[in-house]
Structure 1
């Protein structure tokens, strides 16, 4: 969720964050009061929060959010550097200064990914993905999935032995598989990183992946290469 009383700042941040498919902007607000109303209903995981806003400042809102049962992670996004020390008292993940720098925003996204990866418990050993088929419901272990991709009106789920088709979108699958080790490498591909064997340069900064158990080459958009490498490498 993005909270800022300046529309242009909200639009700029939305544009920068739209480059990362693992993030979904669920709401925005132009004041602390309206933000609080929406947060109670939506309960976002992360809030990008301006500081100087009308009656309820970002720091005051952050203090209120800490009292929630499941408080969101906070990234302060402001034009004022002098609040940084106080902001980190609220366990802020980062402190972005306007005008926003694309590289710094990317580093903030990486910090958020690491934070949520540390909090997530891997449950794929016992839970399975349910896929509705013509003859019933098929249960597939996430560990057996190599990758998923969008094909016309369906989404293909590829294992070493078989390809399944579902009406679920990639975004739906990304949500269902979020407790596992899956990564959106491209707007049309979701990959099991445990199966990755090689990252191959392609063109214009983009790459391709090869996976164990498959001859398919998976595209990796250049905006995701750095974050992908951080996920894969020690």
Structure 2
């Protein structure tokens, strides 16, 4: 399912757009904002697939916000949703995916969603997103719910998966496991030997040479190498 954030300073218009998007059953609205500054920070934290932007906002223009969004490491797609048609050329110069005019039309919204689905791999539906990870143990294949994974590491050339309840040992390289988790935005490589499940991180603890340890739900600490510090801080909105 595609995730979306709406930036609109008119409450009724924001409510209508959110309803039409979620009514399609292809989009989950993960956040809403009415001002540029707060919306930008919220979008950085939520990391949606697409942002629906009004152009004429009380404190500025959605065009400026679109420019800032393109500078993010994992920039979202964006669609302008506005009552003004004169900004269309500027919008597409900024590589907008679509340009919606108010009042919103359900058929037109659905056309926009279909266009976004063709452009965003993670929007192709839950069938393409792995929920279970096959684990070979005791000569049988178990299917591990990825939501239970704290982190994945390689130690002494062996790959290990740590959950709250158990430590699993795999006979495949870390890079192979990482590839299987590509469609899950909850996992992130933070070190050449570690991939973490971000939803299970409880704290960031400063370490030496401007690096960090991530404190996990079970109290274990996972190192962040200097190569990944900037990206980790950005994912947590720091």
TM-score (norm. length: structure 1): 0.52
Secondary structure of 1:17's match?
helix
User: Any conservation in 2 of the 1:130–1:137 contact (CA below 8 Å)?
Assistant: no
CA distance in 2: counterparts of 1:118 and 1:44, whole angstroms: 11
For residue 27 of structure 2, give the secondary structure of its aligned residue in structure 1. coil
CA contact (8 A) 1:46 1:73 kept: yes
| Alpha-carbon distance in 2 for matches of 1:80, 1:95 | 10
Answering whether residue 51 of structure 2 is matched by residue 47 of structure 1, we say yes
Q: Whose relative contact order is higher, 1 or 2, with alpha carbons under 8 Å and at least 6 apart?
A: 2
Secondary structure of the 2:56 match is: coil
Once the 2 structures are TM-superposed, how far is the Cα of residue 39 of structure 1 from its aligned partner?
1.1
Aligned pair count reads 138
Instruction: List gaps (5 residues or longer) in structure 2.
Output: 145-179, 185-238
Tell me if structure 2 keeps the 8 A contact 1:50–1:58.
yes
The reply on whether 1:88 has 2:96 as its aligned counterpart is: no
**Structure 1 residue 21 displacement after superposition:** 2.3
Q: Shift in Å at residue 55 of structure 1?
A: 2.3
CA shift, 1:80, in A, is 0.2
Structure 1 residues 114 and 4: alpha-carbon distance in aligned structure 2, compared to 1, 3 A threshold: same
The separation in 2 between residues aligned to 1:91 and 1:45, in whole angstroms, is 15
2:21 corresponds in structure 1 to 17
Q: How much does 1:118 deviate?
A: 9.2
Q: Unaligned regions of 5+ residues in structure 1, if any?
A: 141-175, 181-234
Deviations 1:23-72 (A, max 9, x none): 11100001112111101211111000000002231001001111111111
User: After superposition, what is the alpha-carbon deviation per residue over 1:185-212, rounded to whole angstroms, capped at 9, x for unaligned?
Assistant: xxxxxxxxxxxxxxxxxxxxxxxxxxxx
Q: Can you list the C-alpha shifts for 1:134-188, whole angstroms capped at 9, x where unaligned?
A: x997239xxxxxxxxxxxxxxxxxxxxxxxxxxxxxxxxxxx99949xxxxxxxx
2:38 aligned with 1:70, yes or no?
Answer: no
SS at match of 1:47: strand
Contact between 2:80 and 2:100, CA under 8 Å: does it hold in 1? yes
Residue 132 of structure 2 is aligned with which of 106, 129, 133?
129
What is the TM-score when the length of structure 2 is the normalising length?
Answer: 0.52
Whether the 8 Å CA contact 2:122–2:183 is kept in 1: the answer is: no
Within 2, Cα distance between the matches of 1:84 and 1:16? 22
